[in-house]
Each structure stands twice: as structure tokens, then as C-alpha cells.
Amino acid sequence: MAKQVQPILVTLGIEGYEELAKLKSAFRGLDTTVQQSDAVLEKARKAILDYGKQAQNSEATLKGLETALKGVREQATLHSPLYTQLTQDIKEVSKAQRDYIADLNSTVSAHKKIQ
């Protein structure tokens, strides 16, 4: 980040230096905020998955888990390890949801054959 700011400093010269120093400080603050946010989002991810393990396995629960994980992923830093993990979690929940519906459909079909 500092390497990107330095050429701007040379171009601006003395004039505008104070504003550039503020901008440089803001970038450092943003980086710290992003790191803290990812830590908070990781806790949210774990809490959502823990809830999913404890909750009744139903279509509504699986849809809710998927929606919650997508919401957390939207706030994660793109291409970060957390973003990648959330994408994987979403795929797994989506697959579990499809499998649940397929099992339900096969059960209904088997029940109809019996009647």
C-alpha cells in the first residue's frame, strides 16, 4: 500500500502533502478494519454452522443457513480465505438441501406406489 502512495507523493510535491498523509492514514485504518471484520465474520460463520448442526434438518432450516451464509459472504473480503470457505460452506448446504428434497420426493413416490 505504501508503495502505491509514494509515487503520488512525489507527483504532488509539497502542495497537498498534508491531505495525502491523511489519505495514507485512512488506508492503514481501512486495512485494520477489514482484518477485524473478517475475524467477526468468521465467528458469525461458525455460529451459523453450529446452529445448523443443532437445528432440525428441514428444508426451511437449510434455506435459512444458505441465506445466512450468503449474507456473511457478501461482507467478507473478496478472494480471502474466509470468502473461499464461505463459498464452500454454501455449496455444501445447497447440496444438502437438494439431497433432502430428492429424498423427500423419493419417499413420496414410494408412498404413492404403496397406495
pLDDT in tens, 46-64: 999 988 888 877 888 888 9
pTM: 0.63
Q: What is the pLDDT of residue 31?
A: 59
Q: Tens of pLDDT along 83-114? A: 999 999 999 999 988 988 888 777 766 656 67
**What pLDDT band is residue 38 in, cutting at 50, 70 and 90?**
confident
DSSP the chain: -HHHHHHHHHHH-STTHHHHHHHHHHHHHHHHHHHHHHHHHHHHHHHHHHHHHHS---HHHHHHHHHHHHHHHHHSPTTSHHHHHHHHHHHHHHHHHHHHHHHHHHHHHHHHHH-
Query: What would the mean pLDDT of 67-72 be, rounded to a whole number?
Result: 92
